[in-house]
Structure 1
Amino acid sequence: MASRKVLAVTLPLVMLSALAQPAFAGGLDRGGYNIDQLFDASQFSIQSGVIYVMPQRKLKNVQDLQTTSPLLGGNGNLNGRSSTADDTENYAVPYGGIKAGYGDLDCLVDYSEPFGAHTNPGANWAGANNNIETKITTRNYGATCSYKFDVGPGQLRVIGGTFYQEVEGFKERLVYSFGAPPLPNGTGRLDLEDQAWGWRAGVAYEIPEYALRASLIYNSRVKYDNLTGTVDLTNSPLTPGYGGKITNVTGSAEAPDSLELKVQSGIATDWLAFGSVKWTNWSVLQTVPFRDAAGVELASLDLAYRDGWTTTAGIGHKFNDQWSGAVSLTWDRGTSDGYGSQTDTWLLGLGAAYSPTENIEWRLAGSLGIMTSGESGTIVKDGVTYGDDVTYSFGNDLVAAISTSIKVKF
């Protein structure tokens, strides 16, 4: 039988290992939503951490599909440019939280960056008319509480909360090309931003004597109904009607809702097994058009995502009063379905937790994985055509991540 101490010492490591795994999940997932600190057994805790992710997605066999001359209304032929590109950029995902408990009530306020993206293949590849650089960043400020009461041999928690989320980003692409310099080439840039609210609700059941906990948490959609921004064509003076100026645009989009089941249990003295399954409604993001005051579409973010599924399984072990370790395996179903480069990802995670005193925990974890191969081309989805500007393929590429955090608790 596992003791209460398994829950108190090994469980925080499990939280760390799980935190490192979804750092390169499908869609625009970054850190995702994580409220595991709410379950901390201490009355008060402060935690901060960061994940650093190093994806190595490389595009190859790139071919420009829209080769019509700008004189005839096209973008120009880019097939003389490189047929390969390094698509992804390294990134960091910070987290910070403060948890306080009073009796059967626990509350957590936290900062996270659940969604984001950064691709930067540059201007010198054959797909520059699709993307030169795209970056999306979110900032999430959450408040979540739970109330627990005795049910059977354990305790049932009812969980609810809200969060305020900010999004901002940009996309640059080639608008037209008349050939190699000094012949004219035009680029355009879309900038966007908005703020919105979301909410979460869930339940959890715990039996501390067995280090057992099962939780089911739903996070709502975040409706960005007032995405505002600009389309900057000052570097494309030959664009009819809009060239050489900046135009205000508006749009709307939704960050996806998600449902996550997490389960853990002691399986022997100082041993803990854990697993999770998460569904994320990425199919709400298909194409996001941006229009000027006259209703003319000047830019769009074309994603054509399908729903994401992420599963994790692992084992944790307490070595002594100071050290614990865990290993986990994660599979994430890619959200790209013939368009884009987000295929299935497999990640192996390792982590360690060190507690020099009962009030301090330091955690370090890493993961190494494979982003599986595939190709992107022209597809038709719900009557909309995607990928008719560029086609490319990619092999099995590496992704690595390292994370660290420190927690002070009383």
Structure 2
Amino acid sequence: MTKNPLNPRLHKPALKAVPAALLGLLGCSLAQAAGFQLLEQNASGIGTAYAGSAAVADNASTIYFNPAGMTELRDREISLGGSLVDISAKFRDNGSFTGTPPGVPTLAGNGGNAGTTNLVPNAYLSWKLSPQLWGGIGISAPFGLKTEYDDPWVGAAHARHFDVKTLNINPSLAFKVNDTLSVGAGINYQRISADYLRTISVAPLPTPIGVLPLQASSVSFRANDWSWGWNVGVLYKPNEDTRLGISYRSAIKHTLDGSLNTSAPAAAAPAVAAIGNSGAYTRIKLPETLIISGAQRVNAQWEVLGDVSWTGWNSVQDVNIVRTSSVAQPITPTGASGATAQTLEARFRNTWRVALGANYALNNAWTLKGGLAYDRTPVAAAETTLVSLPDGNRTWLSAGAQWRPDADSRVDFGLAHIFVKDTDINNNQLAAGRGLVRGSYDSRIWLMGVQYSRAF
């Protein structure tokens, strides 16, 4: 059989004990797809803007996008990749208001660049168990979010630091029904952790135990959870030039247990701690996703790819942080056990993403890639935009290449620039003592990725 550069696969020759180092490496905290979903589950898809993600099945990372695609792989394959993500998010003030009386020290400033630069790695292994059955495992980070503001920052009582990380362990099976149809399924054991820090209030607070300098004090919420989900996929090949894929990943419900802790200037620290420290939890339902993909080889050199995906973000509405123990001196109802200490009003909506891409076989060793995509934000309005997630509609422009040094190895390179529509914010938390943040965000994202895949 002659090797086709666009389809090299036709050339046939106790989980909770995961080490802390692995959690730190793979539990990355970024947000590149709309909301805080991470599309960077491989680097090989960056060059085509992840068009055809559930149909391509050209390396072991298909375990995440469509487990049925393992039937297109050889006896054993590994895929190791990483994506460097650079995010810029700069706030422009347009009438933010803290509500404090004149002459009272309060919060001000634009907070600098709230974006970060981080690495999102992933790892996959698949193997052929029988002529019709494949098994595999993937380790990745499906969701993540990180924003961090510099001082001074007018929105510090909304959030100064917000960091959500996930780690997903995804054992999977695929069954080849016949030469045209394959099915796959997997289970997901997912860890999520949250680290949230904000200034307690925009102004000092008179209390029975004295006037507390809450504009110079902070409260943090740290919590984590492990939970289960599942995913399924189907791959249909009416002929050797056409592949159609559909995959579904379930929603995963998490209950994050942790604590609320305060810090304050030395003189006020004991009093602030007395009214703020307690156990706490929050519940969040990470969204389900559906992907429909196609890959069509036009001729020996060209292959076109398409992708439509849906994410059920309306599972994320009001996120309540609830105390599990009373503070030492509860001077307000929110200090009692079972009381809601704070509510993050996300009010997300469901979203769609569409992508188109193409591969061009330059020669037997090199394939060039390109892609475009449009990704709608789940943030519904300026009034529900959170300073921890200043998200906007996104347009992807991607390019990349694949190098095949030998019959068993592939190295993928990808580069993408994501244009983010300016994001308006008009989040009013004056009644809660956190002020009004009004203005807009100027944001942009760069992605660079490398992935090594090998059959053996």
Q: TM-score range by the shorter chain?
A: 0.7 to 0.9
1:29 and 2:59 are equivalent in the alignment: no
- Return the offset for 1:239: 9.8
Assess if the C-alpha contact under 8 Å between 1:238 and 1:244 holds in 2. Answer: no
Q: How far apart, in 2, do the equivalents of 1:10 and 1:326 lie?
A: 20
Q: How far apart, in 2, do the equivalents of 1:364 and 1:323 lie?
A: 11
CA gap of 1:23–1:359, structure 2 versus 1, over 3 A, is: farther
1:254 and 2:285 are equivalent in the alignment: yes
String of CA shifts for 1:150-206, please: whole Å, max 9, x gaps: 2xxx51111211010000121111113558xxx771111111100100001121102
1:87 and 2:133 are equivalent in the alignment: no
Assess if the C-alpha contact under 8 Å between 1:157 and 1:203 holds in 2. Answer: yes
Aligned counterpart for 2:166 among listed residues 138, 141, 145: 138
1:373 and 2:422 are equivalent in the alignment: yes
Aligned counterpart for 1:393 among listed residues 440, 445, 449: 440
Q: What is residue 346 of structure 1 aligned with on the other side?
A: 395
Assess if the C-alpha contact under 8 Å between 2:9 and 2:74 holds in 1. Answer: no
- Return the offset for 1:234: 3.2
1:49 and 2:57 are equivalent in the alignment: no
Q: What is residue 285 of structure 1 aligned with on the other side?
A: 316
* 1:102-251 pair list within 5 angstroms: 102-150=130-178, 154-178=179-203, 185-207=216-238, 209-210=240-241, 212-224=242-254, 226-235=255-264, 237=268, 243=274, 246-251=277-282
Greater shift after overlay, 100-109 or 187-196?
100-109
Q: How far apart, in 2, do the equivalents of 1:176 and 1:10 lie?
A: 62
CA gap of 1:23–1:270, structure 2 versus 1, over 3 A, is: farther
Aligned counterpart for 1:358 among listed residues 389, 397, 407: 407
Greater shift after overlay, 339-348 or 237-246?
237-246
Assess if the C-alpha contact under 8 Å between 1:234 and 1:243 holds in 2. Answer: no
CA gap of 1:317–1:249, structure 2 versus 1, over 3 A, is: same
- Return the offset for 1:257: 0.5
The AA in structure 2 aligned to 1:199 is W
Assess if the C-alpha contact under 8 Å between 2:5 and 2:365 holds in 1. Answer: no
CA gap of 1:292–1:285, structure 2 versus 1, over 3 A, is: same
CA gap of 1:344–1:336, structure 2 versus 1, over 3 A, is: same
Q: How far apart, in 2, do the equivalents of 1:407 and 1:120 lie?
A: 35
The AA in structure 2 aligned to 1:99 is S
The AA in structure 1 aligned to 2:250 is S
Assess if the C-alpha contact under 8 Å between 2:182 and 2:236 holds in 1. Answer: yes
Assess if the C-alpha contact under 8 Å between 1:99 and 1:108 holds in 2. Answer: yes
Q: How far apart, in 1, do the equivalents of 2:10 and 2:450 lie?
A: 16
Structure 2 residue runs without a partner (length 5+): 12-29, 43-60, 205-212, 325-336
Structure 1 residue runs without a partner (length 5+): 12-21, 70-74
CA gap of 1:292–1:84, structure 2 versus 1, over 3 A, is: closer
TM-score by length of 2: 0.76
Q: How far apart, in 1, do the equivalents of 2:169 and 2:350 lie?
A: 25
Greater shift after overlay, 235-244 or 110-119?
235-244
Q: How far apart, in 1, do the equivalents of 2:424 and 2:202 lie?
A: 25
Percent of residue pairs bearing the same amino acid type: 19
Q: How far apart, in 1, do the equivalents of 2:152 and 2:274 lie?
A: 22
The AA in structure 2 aligned to 1:409 is A
CA gap of 1:323–1:147, structure 2 versus 1, over 3 A, is: same
- Return the offset for 1:3: 8.0
Assess if the C-alpha contact under 8 Å between 2:31 and 2:145 holds in 1. Answer: no
Q: How far apart, in 2, do the equivalents of 1:87 and 1:8 lie?
A: 42
The AA in structure 1 aligned to 2:237 is E
Q: Secondary structure at the match of 1:51?
A: strand
- Return the offset for 1:389: 3.2
Q: Secondary structure at the match of 1:93?
A: strand
The AA in structure 1 aligned to 2:247 is I
Q: What is residue 99 of structure 1 aligned with on the other side?
A: 126
Q: How far apart, in 2, do the equivalents of 1:235 and 1:140 lie?
A: 36
Q: What is residue 17 of structure 1 aligned with on the other side?
A: none
String of CA shifts for 1:102-131, please: whole Å, max 9, x gaps: 312122201000100000123411111111
- Return the offset for 1:244: 6.5
- Return the offset for 1:100: 0.8
When the two chains are superposed, the root-mean-square deviation of aligned CA atoms in Å is 3.1
The AA in structure 2 aligned to 1:7 is N
The AA in structure 1 aligned to 2:245 is S
Q: How far apart, in 1, do the equivalents of 2:418 and 2:39 lie?
A: 17
Greater shift after overlay, 350-359 or 199-208?
199-208
Assess if the C-alpha contact under 8 Å between 2:318 and 2:343 holds in 1. Answer: yes
Q: How far apart, in 1, do the equivalents of 2:150 and 2:181 lie?
A: 52
- Return the offset for 1:246: 3.0
The aligned length equals: 381
Assess if the C-alpha contact under 8 Å between 1:230 and 1:246 holds in 2. Answer: yes
Q: What is residue 72 of structure 1 aligned with on the other side?
A: none
TM-score by length of 1: 0.85
